[in-house]
Structure 1
């Protein structure tokens, strides 16, 4: 079973994402910020990461840069899930190594399509 790490400082967003991911037969783990997410990745590299941009301690952009530097960190498919919608933010996320980008609020249909696009489901 593929593993998806959900990284968001909002418990509500994590809960919604978890339901969607588990509905797609993905095993999930959660982190409240980028630093916690790196700890999870050191223990077990996920197949996919749903990643918020704005978080305390370590934001999504910094996490993604660190993830891509880790051994095996080029493997997970990363989908940024954020309210940032300007072209510069999207370009910055893709340049840092994101595979896809989705705007909040997202729903099951949108998330399923994005995960299919990057080959997770």
Structure 2
């Protein structure tokens, strides 16, 4: 644990939960990566966030957007490439349809997962 900076309110400290700290750790743990997140801190990085509808994934997306990174991979593009390279098929024809949500509807994607939607839920920041 570390004390909050003097200019951070108690409310800010109370709002930093385990998911946000986990996401921050994931983005700053790489050997040659940044130790702190700031605008442009991830400029030499491509980030793929899996599980973006969950609490940690949502926090990771928000932190990546904070750094102004413009190379956060959309899962749909990666799924297409993985299938082309021989991974398990994704799509209606394979029994695993892709259910897409724009980033602004992340809460709806989370609700879909909680309601046991059949398919791969993708939150696409580019949509």
User: Is the TM value for this pair above 0.5?
Assistant: no
TM-score normalised by L of structure 1: 0.31
Choose between structure 1 and 2: higher strand proportion: 1
Larger Rg: 2
